[in-house]
Each structure stands twice: as structure tokens, then as C-alpha cells.
Structure 1
Amino acid sequence: MLEYRVVARRIDAHGGMARCKGAKITLDTDVNGRADAFNPAELFLAAIAACMLKGIERVTPMLRFNLRGVEVKLHGIRQDSPPKMASVDYELIVDTDEDDRRLDLLHTNVRKFGTIFNTVSAATRLEGRIVRAAKG
């Protein structure tokens, strides 16, 4: 089993700092929000996106899938009572010349083998689609 460790500290009433390895992320913990940091819901969505991107990096060599770029757009809905993420929708945009069957295969692999993807999809509605990037 793999293990992960992150340490987060309060900086002040407006933010905190999370660290792992040699990386750090400023956290938006201000009750009024702040524009220069991710709040917890945004970090949650970013974790899903990072999982999908990492999954693509992992499977493209095995599938011999050629791409020029990838973008993930996510939209989360938070319910108030009890507070939780009720749903997450995504659009996975791939710049590729691969055919539709291969694009669907990539999507299947992203959904099947992503640790964060699988954890989130077991807890809430996580749905989306893969599309080809527009030419030009």
C-alpha cells in the first residue's frame, strides 16, 4: 500500500499553508474567501483533475495514445444541509488525432484506474464526458 502525508498550518484568519515533499499550496480559509488561493471545495475539484491528468500520463504510453494536450473542466455543486459536495461534472478535452474508439478507451482507463476518481465516485455523483479539442 502507498502512503501519503501532508501537513497544513494556519497562517492567520485569512489562510493557511499545506506542504508535502518540496511543494506548498496556499489555502483559502478566509470566511469571506480570497482570490489568490484555492478554498477546500476548489482543492477537492483540483484533486480530481490532477488524478485524471496523472492517469492520462500513466496510460498513454501503454495504449500508444498520441495527444498534444489535455484540459479538464470541473463543476461541483455543494449542498448546504448537511454540507457536502452533491455532485461533480467534468469535461475532459483532449487534443488528439486518435479515433473516437481510442478516445473512449482513454476515458475508460481514466475512470477505471484513478485513485481519487474512484474514491469520489463512490461517495457522490461524478459524471462527465471526454471530447476532442476543437481544431485551430
Structure 2
Amino acid sequence: MLEYGVNAERLDAHGSLASCKEAELLLDTDVDGRMDAFNPAELLLAALAGCMIKGIERVTPMLHFKLRGVEITLRGVRQDSPPKMASVEYTLTVDTDENDRRLELLHQNVMKYGTVYNTLAAGTTITGTIRRAAGKKS
């Protein structure tokens, strides 16, 4: 089994700092919010996006799938009582000349093998689509 570790420290009433390996990330932990940092819900969505892109990086060599770029747009809906992320919707856009069947195969692999994806999907409704970047053939 793999293990992960992150350390987070409150800087002041407006923010905190998370660190792991040689990286640091400013966190929006201000009750009123702040524009220069991710809040916890945004971090969750960013973790999902990172998981999906990393999954693509992992499976494209195995599938011999050629791409030029990937973009993911996510939208999370928070429920107030009890507080939780009720749903996540995403659009996964791939700049590729691969056919539609192969594009869907890539999507299936992303959903099936993503650690963060599967963790969230166990308690949150996740829906999404994969599409080809505009101007590319099908």
C-alpha cells in the first residue's frame, strides 16, 4: 500500500500553509474567504482534476493514445445540512486525433483507476463527459 503525508499550519486568521515533499500551498482558511488561495472545497476539486490528469498520463502509454493536451473543468455543489459536497460535474477536454471509441476508452480508464476519483465517487455523485478539443476530427 502507498502512504501519503501532508502537513498544514495556520499562519493567521486569514490563511494556512500546507506542505509536502518540496512543495508548499497557501490555503484559504479565512472565514470570509480570500481570492489568492484555494479554499478546502476548491482543493478537493483540484485534487480530483489532478487525479484525472495523472491517470491520463499513466494510461496513455499503455493504450498508445496520442494527445496534445488535456483540460478539465469541474463544478462542485455543496449541500448545507449536513455539510458535504453533494455532487461534482466535470468536462474533460482532450486535444487528440484519436477516434471516439478510443476517447471513451480513455475516459473509462480515468474513472476506473483514479484513487481520488473512486474515493469521492463512493460518497458523492460524480458525473462528467469527455470531449474532443474544438476543431479536431472524430
If the length of structure 1 is used for normalisation, what is the TM-score? Answer: 0.99
Distance 2:110 2:80 in 1: 30
Distance 1:124 1:79 in 2: 11
Distance 1:120 1:126 in 2: 8
Percent same amino acid at aligned positions? 68
Q: 1:135, CA displacement in angstroms?
A: 1.8
Aligned to 2:21: 21
2:56 is equivalent to residue 56 of structure 1:
yes
How well do the aligned residues superpose, as a CA RMSD in angstroms?
0.8
Distance 1:41 1:58 in 2: 26
Q: 1:36, CA displacement in angstroms?
A: 0.5
The letter of the residue matching 2:17 is M
Aligned to 2:128: 128
Distance 1:114 1:99 in 2: 23
User: Runs ≥4 in structure 1, deviation > 4 angstroms?
Assistant: none
Per-residue CA distance 1:88-115 (angstroms, 9 max, x = gap):
0000000000000000000000000000
Q: 1:25, CA displacement in angstroms?
A: 0.4
If the length of structure 2 is used for normalisation, what is the TM-score? Answer: 0.97
The letter of the residue matching 1:85 is M
Structure 2 unaligned blocks of 5 or more: none
The letter of the residue matching 2:89 is D
